[in-house]
Structures are given as C-alpha cells and as structure tokens.
C-alpha cells in the first residue's frame, strides 16, 4: 500500500504527510475550514450575496473558478453549495483546480464530516473520485450543470494543461515556506493566463513577495481584514495595462443562436445535447427515417478505455471519454436495461506488453485498470472461466461497462432545445448573409442556421468541402439469444474484450441475448453482411472465450446467430476531428493556421449588428471508439465555442483540432 497522503490528528485536523502542514484548522467548533472558504474565497471574490447586492455571478450564462490547490476539496464543496443556494446563480458552474497529490475518497468524506450541509455533496464527489492519474479529469454534478476539472500534477505543468477563461482565482495551498513553488511568480503568471479581464482573486496569504508578484502579473491588490487567527487576507482584481493572454489568443465566445447538426448518430446527438444545454436551438438533420441508423445503430457495445504502457494520447482520450459516456448514460438512461457500469475484463494475446508499475507514492485510488496479478482481476477472470497465465496480459477495468448506443442517441435528441428531422438528406452547405443554408440535392432549402456542425460519419467527407483524409472502416458483429440452461454460465456476467469482445446476458423484449465482434475492414463503404466476417467473429470468440464459443457454437449452424454491419469513419492518426473547418476552400487557398489554443472561438453572434460568419464545425472520425468518445467530443466542441474550461488536457485537445490536417 502506498504511504498515506493525509494524516489526521487527534483533534480532527488534516495534515499533509509530504509538506508537514495543515490542510485546514479543525477549530474549536469544527467550522474553521468552511468559514475560511466562505469568507476568504467566496466573499473575497463577491460570490456570496450581501444585503441587497447580488453575487458577482448573478445572471451569468456560466461562471468559472480557478483554484491552485484543491486539497481536500472544501473550497469546491463550499462553492457548489453556494451556487445551489443562490436563486440568481449562473446556469453552469465550472471549477478548475490543480492538485499534485490527490487524497483518497475516504479523506474527502472525513474532511466534510464536520459540515452537515456539505456531506451529501462530499459523498457525490467521493463517488466519482477514481482514475485520477496525472493529467486532466472532468467530473460532472447536478445534471452536468456543475463541472469540476481537476488537473493532477505539479502546479505549473498542470496549469499549462488547463484551457478556457476563468472569472475567479483562488490562490490556495500550503504555506509559501512549505510549498514555495505554489506561490512563485511563474505560477501566478500561469494562473493569470487563464483569467478574463476583471477577474477577482482571493487568498489568505498576504506575504509581501506574493503581493508584489501579483502586481507584476497585472493585478490590483488590496489587503483586507482576515479571518482569525489570521489578521489579514488578500483580494485582487485582474486589470493589466496590456492585453491579457485570452485577449491575444482567443476570439470572443459565441452567443447561443440557431444551430444545424448534420447526422443523428452518437456524434451528432452528443453535439446537439451539449449545445442545447448552453442555450442553442438545435435542429438535427439525417437522411434516415430513424436516428442511429448508421454505425451508432450497433445493438450493444463495450465502453472501456484503451490502456498503454506509455499513456499515449489515445489512452488518455479514451479514459476521459469512458468517464464522460458512463456519466451521461447514468443521467439519461435506465441502468441495467440500456447500459450498465459492470466493469470489463480485457484479455490480450500472448506476448502483449504489461502495464508499468504504479509510480512511487501514488495513491491506490488512481488506478481504474488493474493488471493480471491483482486479486480482483484474477477473481473476475475466474468468474468468466478465463485462464490467466504469465504470457497473456489481462486487465480488469473497474469503471467500464456496456451500452445500447441507439438508446443514448434517442435520449440526447429528446433534450429541450433539440429538434430531430428524419428523411432529410443534406447535399450541400452554402454560406448566406446571416449564416449558413443547407440544401438538398434538388436545391431545396432544408434549414438555415448561424452555426453548422457536420457529424455524419463517413458521409462527412462529401460535406466538408475542403479535403479531409477520412477513410471508411466497415465492421460486422454477431448476436443471438442466450443458449439457456446450464450453458448460460459459460457467458460471463460482464463484458470481456481483447481480440473482439463478448457481452452476454443482455436484457431484451424476447429474452436475454448476447453480442460479439467486431471485424475491421478498410475501404469498404457498404454496410453489407458477409459470410466471411460471420465466420471470423465465430473464430475470434473461440480465441477470446473458448467456453462461451462452445456454448454458442450451434447458433452459427442453425441461423440463430445473426449478423449486423455498418461503416465507421476514421482518420490517419486514429483521433477524431473536432472544431472549425474551412468549408468550400480550394486546396491551394486553404489557410495554414498558426498554432493556437484549442479554445479559439469565432466572433460573437449579435442580433443587433452584422457579424462574421461562424466557421463550419466538424465532429467526425471517431472510428471504432465512437461509443467511448462521442460525448466527450460534443463537450469539447461546445467548450471551444463558448470559451469554457476544456473537458480534457489542453495539449490533448490540440491534437483533436480538425484544422490539424491543413498544416
């Protein structure tokens, strides 16, 4: 077991074993920590109503707080509670924080125990407190209206991975004498990069050097009475005499208007849901008679992260995507019917590389995927009748499961503000004086919008205008009824994947069923089912789970094992394309964009004055991982348009920019 991050004194004071300093004082009444959160930070930034004056965030579409030291999460819980209690609160609260040494979920619960009003919130936080490896993690609460973005790592590197604009800055952490890196000038500059002009800052630290460095960064600084036993606290306002980092690199965030989304699969529905939550009126158009008729019509599929020894971009992306998808499913779907966070057993071919050992001093809470030597992995493998040996890598993904993609698509399309239009084939997208027009093959005007998002899978290629290296990837699965009787035990109660996958015991109107696959065939654009792929899925299952294959063997002979196929879209680097794309640009005139933060947004929509047209947006190329990535990509696109904190690491978001194929 790793060494504990937090030591609890007899009087209930939590202390850091690394920095030998207190997270907060217990106080004689146990309320000192919460009192500091409210007085120094919330009131210091004007986020608590006082008298007849409303809080600074009153009536805002969204508000973003940046904290330099998350600690035990008390400031976050206090901000969340204050947001809940304020009838004039912003529609969405974003809270970005840095923490190099995440505590355990039990430490979070114990820290909030003295505050009855915070205990239910702390329990929700603790429930999502998993998988916190170094990097950026997004946790959502209150139907995704409250978003915690936690950057795990040393403060400067972690701040560099955060994106979007923030309205409040809370400088917290252990004392400058114990943790000087947290308070140095370059750290304050890194935090200021994320602030909007006029943002307020607050801290309990009044050290002279900190005050001078804040002034150097462009803050107007004021020392105010503190909360005993501290005599003073610090308040500041970000008002530099020079353009801020956001003013230099990011155009104004757009205002919600009319949006047309082309494609009613997982990508299109996810974009529509995320934009509708931000006030857009979204029309989703698709040529099919029902939503999810393309690759998103997969009867059921596995949600699990890709794990690699070197934590490559695809691994980090799918870890974030699996969390986002399961959270959205829990919000919108019926557990056990449309999805289940059952965990997933992953089994690889002989010779596959093992995962690296956990970093020295890392916390056990950080590991969602447990290797073959872990008792839980062995227990799950035994239950699935899967033999483990030293030549095969095996993993147990604790926070993973299965889902019916069409159910999630339908649920997201039913969000307020979203209109779904069937049998509407868009042939071309044309610029108009006030935005965009979508037309059919015969020139009929199908829709007009301020913003257009192309999320039509492989069909996006014909609508993108400028060349996009999108390729077809056909896949086929097999499915059928559970064999019944004792043979059912040969199919595990949770998904198993590796070379293909198997999900058994799926509930259905005609009884439980199973599904296995998938094949991968490039350059095939027709979703026809083939006997060769049917046989291939049978062979893959025999290699993955011999006992299950034997129990289902007769179904391939008597026709009960059916086939389903679809065409997916993939890009050369196996990563999605998300964001602005230069529609209709000839190849020789296509712009070569300079490197810039992902959150660059076009000019704002203003109904009282003409504005620049919003560029066409893409959300495509999700390949075989659309189940895991679509929800995350929808949030990324919406965050980029609105200048919000990004839902994943800034460097990783840069790799998903659609415009990367133009440089």
Which DSSP string do the residues of 272-317 spell out, in sequence order? Answer: HHHHHHTT-EEEEE-SSSSSS-SGGG-S-EEE-----TT--HHHHH
> Is 386 inside any structural domain?
yes
What is the CATH classification number for the domain harbouring 442? 3.50.50.60
- Taking residues 45-54, what's their average pLDDT? 91
Same domain, 243 and 378: no
Same domain, 394 and 462: no
Same domain, 527 and 560: yes
Strands (DSSP E) contained in 451-519 are: 451-454, 471-481, 496-498, 500-506, 513-517
Same domain, 457 and 481: no
Same domain, 140 and 129: yes
Strands (DSSP E) contained in 186-289 are: 195-203, 219-225, 232-238, 258-262, 281-285
- Taking residues 562-581, what's their average pLDDT? 95
Residue 171, domain extent: 6-249
> Is 437 inside any structural domain?
yes
- Chain centroid to Cα 234, Å, comes to 34
Containing 65, the helix (H) or strand (E) segment is strand 62-67
Residue ending a domain, choose from 547, 569, 591:
569
H helices present in 384-516, as ranges: 405-413, 460-463
> Would you say 564 and 299 are in contact if contact means Cβ atoms under 8 Å apart?
yes
Structure tokens at 422: 């069937």
> Would you say 491 and 582 are in contact if contact means Cβ atoms under 8 Å apart?
no
Confidence (pLDDT) at 586: 38
C-alpha span between 91 and 84 (Å, rounded): 11
Instruction: Name the band, by pLDDT with cuts 50, 70 and 90, for residue 583.
Output: low
C-alpha span between 380 and 359 (Å, rounded): 25
- Taking residues 553-571, what's their average pLDDT? 95
Confidence (pLDDT) at 359: 41
- Taking residues 26-51, what's their average pLDDT? 84
Average confidence score pLDDT of the chain: 90
> Is 1 inside any structural domain?
no
Instruction: Name the band, by pLDDT with cuts 50, 70 and 90, for residue 591.
Output: very low
Confidence (pLDDT) at 350: 59
Same domain, 483 and 628: no
Same domain, 446 and 556: no
Same domain, 77 and 130: yes
Structure tokens at 333: 């779907």
Confidence (pLDDT) at 356: 47
Instruction: Name the band, by pLDDT with cuts 50, 70 and 90, for residue 32.
Output: confident
> Would you say 510 and 481 are in contact if contact means Cβ atoms under 8 Å apart?
yes
State the total domains in the chain. Answer: 4
- Taking residues 173-178, what's their average pLDDT? 91
> Is 239 inside any structural domain?
yes
Query: Quick check: 83 pLDDT over 80?
Result: yes
Query: Quick check: 474 pLDDT over 90?
Result: yes
Containing 317, the helix (H) or strand (E) segment is helix 313-332
> Is 335 inside any structural domain?
no
Phi, psi of 273 (to 5 degrees): -65, -45
Same domain, 507 and 642: no
For residue 604, the SS3 value is coil
DSSP β-bridge partners for residue 170: 67, 202
Give percent above pLDDT 70 in the chain.
90
Dihedral angle of Cα 606, 611, 615, 617, to the nearest 10 degrees: 10
> Is 63 inside any structural domain?
yes
The better pLDDT of the pair 52, 616 is held by 616
What is the CATH classification number for the domain harbouring 523? 3.30.9.10
For residue 442, the SS3 value is coil
Instruction: Name the band, by pLDDT with cuts 50, 70 and 90, for residue 377.
Output: confident
Same domain, 266 and 179: no
Cβ atoms within 10 Å of 585's Cβ, excluding its own: 14
> Is 106 inside any structural domain?
yes
Dihedral angle of Cα 584, 642, 163, 21, to the nearest 10 degrees: -170
Cβ atoms within 10 Å of 591's Cβ, excluding its own: 11
C-alpha span between 165 and 445 (Å, rounded): 37
Residue ending a domain, choose from 197, 224, 249:
249
Confidence (pLDDT) at 354: 55
> Is 644 inside any structural domain?
yes
Query: Quick check: 28 pLDDT over 60?
Result: no
Same domain, 143 and 270: no
**Is residue 30 exposed (0-12), middle (13-18) or buried (19+ Cβ within 10 Å)?**
middle
Q: What is the pTM of this model?
A: 0.93
**Is residue 471 exposed (0-12), middle (13-18) or buried (19+ Cβ within 10 Å)?**
middle
Same domain, 656 and 616: yes
- Taking residues 169-194, what's their average pLDDT? 95
> Would you say 141 and 118 are in contact if contact means Cβ atoms under 8 Å apart?
no
Query: Quick check: 385 pLDDT over 90?
Result: no
Least Cα distance to 220 among 245, 201, 207 occurs for: 201
Residue ending a domain, choose from 517, 538, 569:
569
Structure tokens at 532: 């060769």
Query: Quick check: 200 pLDDT over 90?
Result: yes
Cβ atoms within 10 Å of 85's Cβ, excluding its own: 11
What is the CATH classification number for the domain harbouring 17? 3.40.50.150
Strands (DSSP E) contained in 304-439 are: 339-340, 344-350, 369-371, 392-397, 401-403, 418-421, 428-432, 435-439
- Taking residues 580-609, what's their average pLDDT? 46
């Amino acid at each position: 077991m790793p060494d504990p991050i937090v030591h609890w004194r007899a009087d209930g004071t939590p202390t850091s074993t690394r920095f030998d300093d207190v997270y907060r004082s217990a106080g004689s009444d146990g309320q000192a920590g919460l009192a500091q959160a409210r007085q120094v930070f919330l009131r210091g930034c004007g986020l608590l109503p006082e008298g007849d004056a409303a809080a600074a965030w009153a009536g805002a579409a969204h508000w973003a707080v940046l904290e330099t030291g998350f600690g035990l999460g008390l400031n976050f819980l206090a901000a969340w509670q204050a947001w809940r209690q304020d009838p004039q609160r912003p529609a969405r609260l974003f809270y970005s924080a840095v923490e190099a040494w995440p505590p355990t979920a039990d430490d979070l619960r114990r820290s909030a125990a003295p505050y009855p009003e915070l205990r239910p919130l702390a329990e929700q936080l603790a429930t999502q407190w998993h998988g916190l490896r170094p990097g950026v993690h997004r946790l959502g609460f209150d139907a995704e209206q409250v978003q915690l973005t936690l950057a795990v790592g040393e403060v400067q590197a972690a701040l560099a991975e955060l994106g979007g604009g923030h309205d409040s800055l809370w400088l917290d952490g252990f004392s400058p004498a114990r943790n000087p890196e947290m308070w140095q000038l370059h750290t304050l500059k890194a935090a200021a990069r994320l602030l909007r002009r006029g943002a307020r800052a607050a801290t309990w630290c009044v050290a002279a050097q900190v005050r001078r460095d804040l002034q150097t960064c462009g803050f107007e600084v004021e020392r105010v009475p503190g909360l005993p036993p501290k005599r003073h606290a610090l308040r500041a306002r970000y008002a530099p005499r020079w353009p801020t980092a956001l003013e230099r690199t990011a155009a104004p965030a757009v205002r919600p208007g009319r949006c047309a989304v082309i494609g009613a699969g997982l990508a299109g529905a996810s974009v529509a849901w995320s934009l509708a939550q931000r006030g857009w009126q979204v029309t989703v158009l698709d040529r099919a008679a029902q939503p999810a008729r393309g690759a998103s019509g997969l009867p059921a599929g596995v949600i699990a992260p890709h794990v690699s020894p070197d934590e490559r971009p695809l691994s980090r992306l799918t870890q974030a995507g699996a969390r986002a998808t399961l959270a959205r499913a829990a919000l919108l779907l019926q557990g056990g019917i449309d999805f289940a966070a059952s965990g997933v057993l992953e089994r690889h071919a002989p010779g596959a590389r093992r995962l690296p050992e956990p970093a020295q001093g890392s916390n056990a809470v950080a590991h969602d995927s447990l290797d073959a030597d872990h008792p839980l992995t062995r227990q799950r493998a035994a239950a699935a009748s899967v033999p483990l040996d030293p030549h095969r890598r095996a993993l147990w993904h604790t926070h993973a499961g299965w889902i019916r993609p069409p159910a999630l698509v339908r649920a997201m399309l039913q969000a307020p503000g979203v209109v779904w239009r069937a049998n509407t084939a868009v042939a071309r997208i044309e610029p108009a004086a006030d935005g965009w027009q979508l037309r059919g093959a015969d020139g009929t005007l199908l829709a007009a919008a301020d913003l257009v998002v192309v999320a039509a899978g492989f069909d996006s290629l014909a609508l993108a205008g400028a060349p996009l290296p999108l390729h077809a990837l056909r896949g086929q699965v097999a499915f059928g009824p559970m064999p019944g009787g004792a043979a059912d035990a040969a199919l595990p109660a949770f998904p198993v994947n590796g070379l293909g996958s198997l999900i058994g015991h799926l509930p259905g109107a005609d009884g439980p069923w199973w599904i296995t696959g998938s094949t991968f065939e490039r350059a095939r654009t027709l979703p026809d089912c083939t006997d060769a792929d049917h046989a291939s899925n049978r062979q893959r299952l025999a290699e993955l789970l011999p006992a299950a294959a034997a129990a289902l063997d007769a179904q391939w002979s008597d026709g009960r094992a059916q086939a389903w196929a679809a065409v997916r879209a993939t890009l050369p680097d196996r990563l999605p394309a998300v964001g602005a794309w230069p529609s209709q640009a000839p190849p020789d005139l296509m712009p070569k964009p300079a490197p810039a933060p992902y959150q660059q947004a076009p000019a704002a929509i203003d109904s009282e004055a003409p504005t620049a047209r919003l560029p066409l947006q893409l959300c495509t190329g999700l390949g075989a991982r659309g189940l895991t990535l679509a929800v995350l990509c929808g949030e990324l696109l919406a965050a980029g348009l609105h200048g919000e904190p990004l839902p994943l690491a800034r460097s990783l978001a840069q790799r998903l920019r659609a415009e990367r194929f133009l440089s």
